[in-house]
Amino acid sequence: MRLFVILAAFLAIAGCSVRFDTEEVPAVQTFPFTGNQLKITSSLGGLRVLPGTSPAVEVERWTRGKASASPSWSLRDGVLRLSAECTLVFGDCGARYHVKVPSGVRLVIDSPDGVILDGLTQDVDVSSGDRIQVKNASGKLRLLSDSGGIEGDGLKSPSVRGRTLDGSISLAFTAPPTTLDLKSREGGVTARVPKESYQVTVKSADGSSHSDIESTKSSNRTILVRSTYGNVRVLAK
């Protein structure tokens, strides 16, 4: 931080403008789409994915600073690519997106700066370098975060697989899942599920384990909750 302040002061003395409060530049684009699977990739910025009301893919974009200079977006061969750049930048720079997708289209999402899934009904695979948040989803979910937590609320998904290397996992269901498989390497894991019969396994190598629900071997519903360094809990709603 000290080096950054000194460098910013040097640039100011040298006559270089460094802005830390740049305004967002909005843009909107609609892409025709006819496939049954859509892959979304972004190079920079947070991504919120919502249900659309048409067969097309609708994108809203907000960029700041250098990212506003030459952002790009395209949809070809079933892949929506969202690109912006913030390398070698002093001051404010960033991007964020809202993507509205057609119902029934399976989604594969790869975003480095966090993903929010909001009210989706289709199956979704997410890979992110940051936090993943899921609200009111009802399709199958596969969620992978490298260095962020995974949070979910109002879930009706029958099958959820969640993995994070560095962060906690907390998911709350309003309908009983058929298959729930959660694991964190460094963080606690909590699953809140409706009272039903489940085969339940809770394990922590270096933490406490607790389940409100007694495991029923004959159940066709399974819950597997694990952590290497963190407490694990299965709670009945």
The total number of structural domains in the chain stands at: 1
Which candidate, 154, 87, 163, 144, places its Cα nearest to that of 121? 154
Q: Per the structure block, which two tokens stand in for 4?
A: 């950054």
Whether residue 128 lies inside any domain: the answer is yes
Which residues are 229's β-sheet partners? 186
Q: Per the structure block, which two tokens stand in for 123?
A: 């199956």
Q: How far apart are CA 219 and CA 161, in angstroms?
A: 19
Reported as a single tens digit per residue, the pLDDT across 55-106 is 999 999 999 898 888 899 999 999 999 998 887 656 789 989 999 999 999 9
pTM summary value: 0.89
Reported as a single tens digit per residue, the pLDDT across 31-46 is 999 999 999 999 999 9
Whether residue 62 lies inside any domain: the answer is no
Whether residue 127 lies inside any domain: the answer is yes
What residues make up the domain containing 164? 114-237
Backbone angles phi, psi at 2, to 5 degrees: -65, -40
Whether residue 158 lies inside any domain: the answer is yes
**Contact of 59 with 97, CB cutoff 8 Å:** yes
Whether residue 73 lies inside any domain: the answer is no
Q: Per the structure block, which two tokens stand in for 109?
A: 């999402």
Whether residue 237 lies inside any domain: the answer is yes
Whether residue 230 lies inside any domain: the answer is yes
